[in-house]
Amino acid sequence: MELTKELFTRLDPTAGVIEGKSVSARRLSDLKGLFADEAAFDQALQEGDPVIYETSGVESASGEGDLHYAAGKILPGKIGREYFMTKGHYHAWKPAAEVYIGFQGRGVMLLESEDGRQVELVPLEANSIVYVPGNTAHRTINIGDEPLTYIGIYPARAGHDYGSIAVKNFAHVVVEVDGEPRLMKREDFLKEIAINKEL
Ligand code: F6R
Ligand code: ZN
């Protein structure tokens, strides 16, 4: 047993932070190119550069078999009709799976296979647990009107691959339709935006 490792931390489930750990904030400008509605993105950026989400992690153990975990808080809001969300990523070590546990708020996890053909939208809310299989792009989305807080637990060697998402993004979006979240193909949503622009 390696008792030198960090064995205990405390989570603030409302703030969505692990106490004593540094918090890193992702602002709207950090998510450039990820929201479908570019005009809405530019307008929101002009009005300020709001924090979209924050994370704080415990990533000190890095031996074979070790785990990392991180807390997240996604603020409520939308860019156009698309809800505030994380950048999303694959794991750099592709087969690495992850477990998410929700603490507060109403969220969903968008899970996609690498070719974008398989897609799942899984609820993430208080007391729910989501299993993210390996080789799966995952993005967390706040569809509610209060902060969404959660933790994710993953192999220490998982790492993050944001590059693939920056290049081709997710093939689907989660957008508000008649006050409710709806999963749509990105290309269909982009067509809707273009049509509305012409009107
Ligand atoms: C780690 C993980 C989460 C996310 C966090 C922020 O593998 O999935 O801790 O890192 O939800 O999302 P990203 O990393 O996509 O900015
Ligand atoms: Zn992950």
> Of all protein residues, whose CA lies closest to atom 12 belonging to ligand 1?
86
Query: Can you identify the CATH homologous superfamily of domain 13-198?
Result: Jelly Rolls (2.60.120.10)
Domain ranges in the chain are 13-198
Residue indicated by tokens 């989305």: 141
How far apart CA 143 and CA 181 sit, in angstroms, is 7
Distance (angstroms) between ligand 1 centre and the Cα of 88 equals 7
Mean pLDDT in the chain? Answer: 97
Distance (angstroms) between ligand 2 centre and the Cα of 96 equals 8
Cα 174 to Cα 4, 83, 87, 125, 137: the distances in Å are 43, 7, 13, 16, 15
> Of all protein residues, whose CA lies closest to atom 5 belonging to ligand 1?
72
pLDDT class of 2 with cuts at 50, 70, 90: low
> Of all protein residues, whose CA lies closest to atom 6 belonging to ligand 1?
86
- Whether the model clears a pTM of 0.85, i.e. scores above it, the answer is yes
Give the three-state DSSP class for 22: coil
Q: Is the pLDDT of residue 5 over 90?
A: no
pLDDT class of 86 with cuts at 50, 70, 90: very high
Distance (angstroms) between ligand 2 centre and the Cα of 90 equals 7
pLDDT of residue 48: 96
In this structure, the residues whose C-beta lies within 6 A of any atom of ligand 1 are 55, 70, 72, 86-89, 98, 138, 140, 152, 154, 158, 160
Cα 119 to Cα 20, 78, 89, 172: the distances in Å are 36, 22, 14, 8
